[in-house]
Chain A
């Protein structure tokens, strides 16, 4: 007796037919646990959050509040503080990524040049150590180091005759300091990706370029940058998403201050939910942040892919 055969699949048929085929397929029961798990951990929280965002609820006032429709979103889009947070989040993302790209490429080239030298592996390991730190630890660490009065950074500067900086303590320097600290921690990530790209370049291309009399900038433009473009695209997208979620360093070092100098969207949402317990309003903020992140990433991917296609 022949074993029962699965019904023929209908990949090009109407949706209902495709659904029936999928449900009847032998693989479906094996996929079900994973799908249910993902649905519970991602889809359900998102939908619940969406529903919550249409209510005015405060955890510290149980039993009060109720459905308010889009009121929370109206308040959000007319909030000066939220607008400032969005602008500054974008600035931090652009600033950090630019710094990480430039410095990361220079350091990747450096490591590429000394790749066969003794001790280069150790140096590379030391360079990527910041990535191993928990971001909140990084924020605390730098808030102590950069304390204008008690921190070692200004002590060392003043000991060589220079004047100290305000670092996180002034509205003029806090955002730049945040970008620098953020880049210090995650710059090694892009550097590693670029180094991997450089290491994949066949040696013959360098030899051919040398024979043709190419200068260093010809090599960078025509050989190295094209080689790292693909991996860099992935890295940039991941860093964009990461920067949009930036929270730990801000919370540990500045709490969004001084004033609103380092206010970012995640800090805004955190404050609403975990300090004021306005979970409805905080949920609305997180929904908006999610959609902004998705939009930003989508445009970034399309732009970078278009550039990639144009170059090819």
Chain B
């Protein structure tokens, strides 16, 4: 990766800040004095069923000992978590005290009033929360207007994971650009020197999987999905005129179609699990996957590539500034919860530097700069370097965070899937997607110009 001056400067500043905050976090918190006595209470958390969810079991025992409260976590798949949280909010249910939000959901939950503004709580517990220690882009993700709707605890980035043994044998360098990615994928697929190995696996499944893939790649193709949404934009949602039928968008869909030939059979139905699994079982030479999957690749019970893979930045078109895709989760308080004190005690404890590090060492995604710089973490997660580079270049609005985000992503996913299946040409697909998304945005009061 070529590092320009801006990136080097940002990395240096971020590192200095991380080291400073890391020193501060080394002072242990007296949790018994900091947390309330919640004996006899039960804290209910709704959680996404991502690979690290098992880490909560061991860590939460500490909280239970400290507070006397019992912690119950209900974890669900992506769509189910979203459904349950919307239904809980719309019915003003107090069933859950703590809820988690994916970055595209932030605007919807904030606008609907389903989550509390945590700004006052964060200020009151500033020394514990150390909000500035979180990855800067994720600090932005957790904000909506003047509110902070959640504490970032699960920052993800998409990295290129590649097989070091195969690349070395092939004499290939780690990929950097989209062309590198295509060439490497083509090299391994059908190569008799690498039997049963395909180039890569990507999200191709209709709906959110391929819809989100669009937003992962479009920036790195030099495009943007909406007129005023781009890195550095002062008002990302001021002009929501969709640009889904731009030349860059159509080129991206053509890329998705082209890449199918370098993927294992059945790739048309691949989503996050399948693309990661094919890499873990050694069927693909590389995969662009969320960093949340990376610890699983090192687990011998789940993966056969533990010692022979490395990571590098998400690829980009030559000449385009890279924008590594950012995603992940914030932890917020249900507006209708009846145990908000308990909920906040849990959130500030769980996301504190000390406990966050423990969570990361159990396989959780590092979301604090200090954690990314911690030697113990960097030993346990050698890809921390790639994460550190990614966070410096990422963009909070890489996926729209407006209330209509889910429907926009799904709509785009429908049409791209039809193009991948050959039901529509790439141009037709993106023109229809553009028209549908424009109508959706216009109907909901956004500025959309013809």
Alpha-carbon separation in the docked complex, A85 to B301 (Å) = 42
Alpha-carbon separation in the docked complex, A59 to B113 (Å) = 12
| Contact yes or no, B90 A258, CB < 8 A | no
| Contact yes or no, A275 B206, CB < 8 A | no
Which of B108, B206, B281, B403 has the most chain A CB within a 10 Å cutoff? B206
Alpha-carbon separation in the docked complex, A171 to B274 (Å) = 18
| Contact yes or no, B269 A60, CB < 8 A | no
| Residue of chain A at shortest CB distance from B198 | A149
Given known A149-B266, A255-B205, A255-B206, contact A275–B79 (CB-CB < 8 A): yes
| Contact yes or no, B421 A171, CB < 8 A | yes
Q: B205-239, CB under 8 A of A: which get 1 and which 0? A: 11100000000000000000000000000000000
Q: A248-259, CB under 8 A of B: which get 1 and which 0? A: 000000111111
Give chain B nearest CB distance to A235 CB in angstroms: 33
Stretch in contact with the other chain, from A34-42, A90-98, A125-133, A162-170: A162-170
Contact pick for B265, options A154, A171, A257, A259, CB 8 Å: A154
Alpha-carbon separation in the docked complex, A154 to B417 (Å) = 24
Assess whether B45 is interfacial by the CB under 8 Å rule.
no
| Contact yes or no, B83 A275, CB < 8 A | yes
Task: Tell me which residues across on chain B come within 8 A of A257, comparing CB atoms.
Answer: 205-207, 268-269, 417
| Contact yes or no, A171 B422, CB < 8 A | yes
Assess whether B278 is interfacial by the CB under 8 Å rule.
yes
Alpha-carbon separation in the docked complex, A21 to B407 (Å) = 55
Give chain B nearest CB distance to A264 CB in angstroms: 14
Q: A61-101, CB under 8 A of B: which get 1 and which 0? A: 11000000000000000000100000000000000000000
Contact pick for B269, options A62, A169, A276, CB 8 Å: A169
Alpha-carbon separation in the docked complex, A170 to B265 (Å) = 10
Residues A244-292 near B (CB distance < 8 A): 254-261, 271, 274-277
Alpha-carbon separation in the docked complex, A52 to B86 (Å) = 19
| Contact yes or no, B112 A61, CB < 8 A | yes
Task: Tell me which residues across on chain A come within 8 A of B268, comparing CB atoms.
Answer: 166, 169-171, 257-258
Residues B175-207 near A (CB distance < 8 A): 204-207
Task: Tell me which residues across on chain B come within 8 A of A260, comparing CB atoms.
Answer: 206, 414, 417-418, 423
Assess whether B254 is interfacial by the CB under 8 Å rule.
no
Using a Cβ cutoff of 8 Å, how many contacts connect chains A and B? 94
| Contact yes or no, A62 B90, CB < 8 A | yes
Alpha-carbon separation in the docked complex, A60 to B89 (Å) = 8
Q: B106-122, CB under 8 A of A: which get 1 and which 0? A: 00100111000000000
Given known A164-B265, A277-B86, contact A259–B407 (CB-CB < 8 A): no
| Contact yes or no, B278 A258, CB < 8 A | no
| Contact yes or no, B265 A169, CB < 8 A | yes
| Contact yes or no, B111 A258, CB < 8 A | no
Assess whether B369 is interfacial by the CB under 8 Å rule.
no
Residues B81-130 near A (CB distance < 8 A): 82-83, 86-87, 89-90, 108, 111-113
Residues B275-300 near A (CB distance < 8 A): 277-278, 281, 283
| Contact yes or no, A258 B417, CB < 8 A | yes
| Residue of chain B at shortest CB distance from A149 | B264
Alpha-carbon separation in the docked complex, A104 to B274 (Å) = 36
Residues A123-173 near B (CB distance < 8 A): 147-150, 154, 164, 166-171
Alpha-carbon separation in the docked complex, A30 to B423 (Å) = 59
Given known A166-B266, A257-B207, contact A274–B83 (CB-CB < 8 A): yes
Task: Tell me which residues across on chain B come within 8 A of A169, comparing CB atoms.
Answer: 265-269
Given known A171-B423, A255-B206, contact A149–B112 (CB-CB < 8 A): no
Residues B412-432 near A (CB distance < 8 A): 414, 417-418, 420-423
Assess whether B374 is interfacial by the CB under 8 Å rule.
no
| Contact yes or no, B278 A149, CB < 8 A | yes
Q: B322-363, CB under 8 A of A: which get 1 and which 0? A: 000000000000000000000000000000000000000000
| Residue of chain B at shortest CB distance from A273 | B83
Give chain A nearest CB distance to B199 CB in angstroms: 14
Task: Tell me which residues across on chain A come within 8 A of B205, comparing CB atoms.
Answer: 255, 257-258
| Residue of chain A at shortest CB distance from B423 | A259
| Contact yes or no, B266 A62, CB < 8 A | no
Task: Tally B residues with Cβ within 8 Å of A.
Answer: 37
Give chain B nearest CB distance to A103 CB in angstroms: 27
Give chain B nearest CB distance to A140 CB in angstroms: 12
Task: Tell me which residues across on chain A come within 8 A of B417, comparing CB atoms.
Answer: 257-260
Assess whether B138 is interfacial by the CB under 8 Å rule.
no
Give chain B nearest CB distance to A142 CB in angstroms: 13
Alpha-carbon separation in the docked complex, A260 to B267 (Å) = 16
Give chain B nearest CB distance to A98 CB in angstroms: 25
Alpha-carbon separation in the docked complex, A194 to B181 (Å) = 58
| Contact yes or no, A61 B265, CB < 8 A | no
| Contact yes or no, A150 B421, CB < 8 A | no
Given known A150-B277, A169-B267, contact A81–B414 (CB-CB < 8 A): yes
| Residue of chain A at shortest CB distance from B269 | A169
Assess whether B140 is interfacial by the CB under 8 Å rule.
no
Task: Tell me which residues across on chain A come within 8 A of B406, comparing CB atoms.
Answer: 275-276
Alpha-carbon separation in the docked complex, A164 to B264 (Å) = 12
Task: Tell me which residues across on chain B come within 8 A of A61, comparing CB atoms.
Answer: 111-112, 403
Which of B111, B207, B407 has the most chain A CB within a 10 Å cutoff? B407
Given known A60-B108, A150-B277, A256-B206, contact A166–B265 (CB-CB < 8 A): yes
Task: Tell me which residues across on chain A come within 8 A of B90, comparing CB atoms.
Answer: 59-60, 62, 277
Give chain B nearest CB distance to A192 CB in angstroms: 34
| Contact yes or no, B206 A147, CB < 8 A | no
| Contact yes or no, A254 B112, CB < 8 A | no
Which of B79, B82, B204, B266 has the most chain A CB within a 10 Å cutoff? B266
| Residue of chain B at shortest CB distance from A254 | B269
Task: Tell me which residues across on chain A come within 8 A of B410, comparing CB atoms.
Answer: 271, 275-276
Q: B255-276, CB under 8 A of A: which get 1 and which 0? A: 0000000001111110000100
Alpha-carbon separation in the docked complex, A81 to B422 (Å) = 16
Alpha-carbon separation in the docked complex, A277 to B109 (Å) = 13
| Residue of chain B at shortest CB distance from A261 | B421
Task: Tell me which residues across on chain A come within 8 A of B421, comparing CB atoms.
Answer: 170-171, 258-259, 261
Q: Please, could you name 21 A-B residue pairs with CB atoms under 8 Å apart, sorted by A? A: A59-B90, A60-B108, A60-B112, A61-B112, A147-B266, A148-B264, A148-B266, A150-B266, A150-B281, A168-B269, A169-B268, A255-B207, A256-B206, A256-B207, A257-B207, A257-B417, A258-B204, A260-B418, A260-B423, A276-B406, A277-B86
Q: A169-B269, A255-B205, A259-B417 are in contact. List 20 more A-B contacts (CB 8 A).
A: A60-B112, A61-B111, A62-B113, A148-B265, A148-B266, A149-B278, A164-B265, A166-B268, A168-B269, A170-B421, A171-B422, A254-B269, A257-B268, A257-B269, A258-B420, A259-B421, A260-B206, A260-B414, A275-B82, A275-B406
| B residues neighboring A (CB under 8 Å) | 79, 82-83, 86-87, 89-90, 108, 111-113, 204-207, 264-269, 274, 277-278, 281, 283, 403, 406-407, 410, 414, 417-418, 420-423
Give the top 3 A-B pairs by smallest Cβ distance, nearest first: A148-B266, A257-B206, A259-B421
